[in-house]
Structure 1
């Protein structure tokens, strides 16, 4: 494997029991994508959460990012952490990383949970990502970017229930800056297409579809579930940011599914 992993400082390892490897979203990191559910997941499993290059404590490297390298990167992170077989939970971009990891390393992967994900960006998702990248350019307005991300990441019902002060707090968080690897991670959307990988997956799979997701809309989850033999499809009444809106329900779906299939 071609390693993108500089050190174990960029990997979260918590809990004990069967392995559960996490793959986070683009422009994010493990704490951002999974933070509110880490404790619940680690109560039953050894959770390994590596940050991609350019996210969290993992600096962006000279090697170009590819889906294969990210898949190898997360698998190598688990192996270096002493966990040699594991289920993978992928969120958003991490669903494609998880699918590719299962195809490239079938001897290690025991199950998949694919949440708020996609097999390939359709025209709408490409438009969302292209706008994100344009607003995130060095000369862009950070508050405008923060407002845009708040509107596409948060579910409408969840945002409607927020006070002005809560929205301002979220805008301040987003305005503080995206991870340095954000644009390189978003650039992957130009060529991602794992549809041919789906039929090759031979482990139990749960696809989690947030019904109010405006970023990766439910049509993408249905495409994943339809393409993977025997995949189960579950829904959550929330937007894209599942960990913020429905952490307990999401953790329960992941845990109960993995318990049921021995993953």
Structure 2
């Protein structure tokens, strides 16, 4: 099944939090809100969406300025986009759905759990570093080159093709690059927010991600993980029900469509406490 086939016929818009948010609903079961990476859309999950939808009702969202959701007059800010998702949860009447996010979407999902813990069941955050300086210096340098001036050079990329095909205003692509570039240039450190998480959280990363595996181990330690032996019956595992998965043979750019990512996500979400 292609991304286009998956994405047709089930899309709707929700006017929430000052933005007309595009979302699709797939499958049945306990709700799962699925959030894509930067310069992508919900379509990026096409390879694993059928697997997830076999077990859950998947609400696939296009974030601000991405995919079929038009941009609005505000920066691309994780907290604002998190409030969009919280408002969508209310709009749809969902009862503590699980949140699964990759990269930018992982950061948004984390902020929903931080800002609206009462609206969230379980959290899976994949390839989402929690400190800007955790990522490799050469990646910071590359991120510094993202802006409207790069639009011409990106015309052969899948990101540009997707945007031209589905965006309500295809001419906004340079503006999206400017906003993404500005967002990536801002320093951040969510250490304390992670330490205070109140929902069971799975931290996922590729073994060759944008930040080293040690960073995601550090995040796990903030969640009471990796500090002691877990015990024969798991009695000494992290107190909040948190977990860590470093997935082999993957990178930041292919983890979101990997069957391994789907497998560890479902194993964590469907775990019976």
Change (3 A) 1:4 1:35: farther
Conserved 8 A contact 1:27-1:183: no
Higher strand fraction: Structure 1 or Structure 2? 2
The Cα offsets for residues 80-139 of structure 1, whole Å up to 9 and x where unpaired, read as 233231111121122221221112111111111111121121164565255245255335
What TM-score do you get using the length of structure 1 for normalisation? 0.77
Task: Find the counterpart in structure 2 of residue 255 from structure 1.
Answer: 266
Structure 1 unaligned runs (5+)? 147-170
Change (3 A) 1:260 1:221: same
Q: CA deviation at 1:3?
A: 1.1
Give secondary structure in 1 for the equivalent of 2:158: helix
CA distance in 1, matches of 2:112, 2:157: 35
Task: Find the counterpart in structure 2 of residue 224 from structure 1.
Answer: 219
Q: CA deviation at 1:15?
A: 1.3
CA distance in 1, matches of 2:150, 2:251: 29
Change (3 A) 1:78 1:197: same
Q: CA deviation at 1:257?
A: 0.9
Of 19-28 and 180-189, the range deviating more from structure 2 = 180-189
Task: Find the counterpart in structure 1 of residue 179 from structure 2.
Answer: 184
The Cα offsets for residues 200-220 of structure 1, whole Å up to 9 and x where unpaired, read as 11221111121022x233233
Structure 2 unaligned runs (5+)? 1-15, 168-172, 225-237
Task: Find the counterpart in structure 1 of residue 158 from structure 2.
Answer: 173
Give secondary structure in 1 for the equivalent of 2:25: strand
CA distance in 2, matches of 1:116, 1:139: 24
Task: Find the counterpart in structure 1 of residue 206 from structure 2.
Answer: 210
Pairwise CA RMSD of aligned residues? 2.5
What TM-score do you get using the length of structure 2 for normalisation? 0.74
Report how many residues are paired: 229
Conserved 8 A contact 2:146-2:180: no
Task: Find the counterpart in structure 2 of residue 97 from structure 1.
Answer: 108
Q: Which of 68, 87, 91 is 2:79 aligned to?
A: 68
CA distance in 1, matches of 2:128, 2:118: 23
CA distance in 1, matches of 2:30, 2:121: 10
Higher helix fraction: Structure 1 or Structure 2? 1
Conserved 8 A contact 1:27-1:186: no
Task: Find the counterpart in structure 1 of residue 19 from structure 2.
Answer: 5
1:59 has 2:70 as partner? yes
Q: CA deviation at 1:140?
A: 5.7
